[in-house]
């Protein structure tokens, strides 16, 4: 027997001997007798409580999402909260999405927190991630938990931990919570069944408070009034946006929202899509097909926990272009900044935020409007961290990341697909009203004004234990042997966010990366011609991500297709040079 097999069998036997329920033990015995590979994947390690919480495949075992791993994580978090807020009545909020077992896990979390004598606010049914963030702030909670695996496939579930400002936990709380979670190794350490009276259920009345906060983001009510009948197609992809997104659109004034009815059915198996990821055109197909039939101005989708927005826009020829996350961010940010400027709202110190792997276009747009653009590490919690640091000093306008997340206003501290849908629809009405053009035509105009920035992403998937090792080895190799040039243009800067240093290749001098305090396993190469390539292992999925950014001038909208084709060809050539295709 190998060392790995000994480790796995030892951990599995602990579950058979321990205080686990009989159904769980039966599943463990079945794996031992019939599925060695799955046994190894389920027990070769403990499911890590990472810097954002848990995420993994559902099933039995220490490396799977189940009532026991959720319980260990919750008790560890509870212990950390008690250490941080001694003598206080600790308050927590809990929500969940439509995934299989999400309600079960959410009730498990609520039970454990209640048994620890916390005041618990549990939503009566699924709710979007941004509403959970809003609830933490509105109810003055110390922490919160969202049970979701975002847009991962149906086999996954997850657990996002939030802090008192409504953002996902950041340093030092993230690593300190991990230490507390690692101390929970026995089922008997988890407190349960103590105080159901400590649980308060949140329902529709609280939804109204959240929707009222979103309504305050509206910048062009007159335009919406004139185009209230504009056709909008929306799908929640079987998820948590099903009620609140249409409600937000109605509150803004839109009267012609057309739902993809088949995808309003709440189902954690996501039966109409391969994966509930609105970044993919095949996931958006039913919405786009309906938009074509209805000749709608735009088709929108939110992922299962409704923090991400997928947006497809109608072109002049009647086709529908699915925007990437960078383009959606650009449109929403440019709409906000344009209207803030027109309404005289911009003042000194106002700012926007984006992540380091997001398009470089927001930097140019922000400079044009005289607002600061902060760059931060990947993950919305780092955007929230900047908002927290600037709170009461300067005003946050909006910000986002290339992975289809945007937040306007600071009432929430995570990306908000509900408000993003409402703003995108309002921007489309404003474009028609004030410019006589579609939102897609305005995007092309923005490229003429600020430069044509084009981005692409390649995900290299490596599953399981071997895959994780391969990903780490790839990063080691890239650090040891970074490319000297890309498509003939010399690499002039190498950013390493693990050491927080940037190398000037011409002089060999290393200096500190400005404005970034937290470390992350990310590499970036910037070439002489302005090309940027970023490499980052995913923190939540078994993949390593390659982000490509290129730029060219766009002299006129008439040359859009020609310049776009040239930029796309350049990105494809970069992928080939790095042997990714």
**Residues with active-site annotation:** 150
| CA distance linking residue 527 with residue 530, whole number of Å | 5
Greatest alpha-carbon pair distance for the chain in Å reads 74
Distances (CA, A) of 137 to 240, 251, 393, 557: 20, 22, 19, 44
Pick from 525, 522, 204, 569: nearest CA to 382:
522
| CA distance linking residue 486 with residue 535, whole number of Å | 14
Distances (CA, A) of 189 to 59, 67, 183: 21, 14, 9
- Contact at 8 Å (CB) between 304 and 99? yes
DSSP-H helix ranges across 116-237: 129-138, 173-182, 204-215, 221-226
DSSP symbols for 391-421: TTTS-EEEEEETTTEEEESSSSSS--HHHHH
| CA distance linking residue 44 with residue 37, whole number of Å | 10
Residue 16's CB is within 10 A of a number of other CB atoms, namely 13
Cα 483-486-492 angle, rounded to 5 deg? 70
Contacts of 87 (CB under 8 A, 6+ apart): none
CA 239 to chain centre: 15
CA 37 to chain centre: 31
């Amino acid at each position: 027997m190998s060392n790995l097999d000994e480790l796995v069998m030892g951990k599995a036997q602990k579950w058979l001997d321990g205080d686990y329920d009989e159904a769980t033990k039966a599943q463990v015995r079945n794996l031992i007798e019939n599925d060695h590979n799955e046994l190894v994947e389920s027990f070769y390690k403990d499911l890590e409580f990472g810097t954002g919480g848990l995420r993994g495949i559902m099933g039995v075992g220490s490396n799977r999402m189940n009532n026991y791993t959720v319980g260990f994580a919750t008790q560890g978090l509870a212990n950390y909260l008690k250490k941080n807020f001694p003598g206080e009545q600790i308050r927590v909020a809990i929500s969940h999405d439509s995934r299989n077992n999400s309600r079960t896990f959410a009730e498990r979390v609520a039970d454990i927190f209640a048994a620890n004598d916390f005041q618990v606010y549990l939503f009566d049914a699924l709710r979007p991630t941004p509403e959970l963030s809003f609830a933490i702030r509105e109810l003055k909670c110390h922490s919160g938990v969202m049970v979701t695996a975002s847009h991962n496939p149906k086999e996954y579930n997850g657990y996002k931990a939030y802090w008192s400002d409504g953002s996902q936990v950041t340093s030092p709380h993230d690593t300190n919570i991990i230490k507390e979670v690692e101390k929970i190794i026995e089922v008997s350490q988890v407190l349960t069944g103590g105080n159901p009276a400590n649980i308060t259920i949140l329902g529709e009345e609280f939804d109204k408070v959240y929707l009222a906060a979103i309504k305050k983001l509206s910048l062009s009510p007159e335009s919406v009034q004139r185009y209230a009948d504009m056709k909008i197609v929306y799908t929640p992809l079987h998820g948590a946006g099903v009620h609140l997104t249409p409600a937000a659109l109605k509150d803004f004034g839109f009267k012609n929202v057309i739902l993809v009815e088949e995808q309003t059915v709440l189902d954690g198996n996501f039966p109409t899509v391969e994966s509930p990821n609105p970044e993919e055109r095949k996931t958006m197909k039913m919405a786009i097909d309906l938009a074509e039939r209805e000749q709608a101005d735009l088709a929108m989708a939110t992922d299962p926990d409704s923090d991400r927005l997928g947006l497809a826009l109608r072109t002049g020829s009647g086709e529908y272009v699915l925007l990437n996350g960078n383009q959606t961010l650009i449109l929403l940010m440019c709409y906000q900044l344009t209207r803030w400027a027109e309404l005289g709202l911009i003042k000194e110190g106002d700012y926007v935020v984006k992540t380091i792997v997001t398009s470089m276009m927001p930097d140019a747009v922000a400079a044009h409007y005289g607002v600061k653009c902060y760059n931060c590490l990947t993950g919305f919690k780092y955007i929230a961290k900047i908002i927290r640091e600037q709170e009461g000093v300067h005003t946050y306008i909006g910000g986002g990341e290339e992975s289809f997340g945007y937040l306007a206003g600071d009432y929430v501290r995570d990306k908000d697909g509900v408000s993003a849908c409402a703003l995108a629809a309002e921007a489309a009405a404003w474009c028609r009203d004030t410019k006589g053009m579609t939102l897609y035509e305005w995007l092309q105009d923005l490229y003429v004004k600020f430069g044509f920035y084009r981005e692409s992403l390649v995900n290299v998937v490596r599953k399981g234990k071997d895959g994780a090792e391969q990903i780490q080895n790839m990063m080691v190799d890239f650090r040891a042997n970074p490319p000297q040039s890309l498509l003939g243009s010399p690499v002039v800067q190498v950013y390493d966010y693990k050491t927080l240093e940037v190398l000037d290749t011409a002089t060999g001098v290393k200096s500190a990366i400005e404005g970034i305090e937290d470390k992350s396993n990310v590499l970036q190469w910037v070439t002489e011609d302005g090309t940027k390539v970023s490499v980052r292992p995913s923190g939540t999925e078994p993949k390593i991500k390659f982000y490509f950014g290129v730029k060219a001038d766009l002299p006129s909208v008439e040359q859009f297709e020609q310049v776009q084709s040239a930029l796309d060809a350049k990105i494809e050539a970069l992928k080939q040079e790095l042997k990714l295709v």
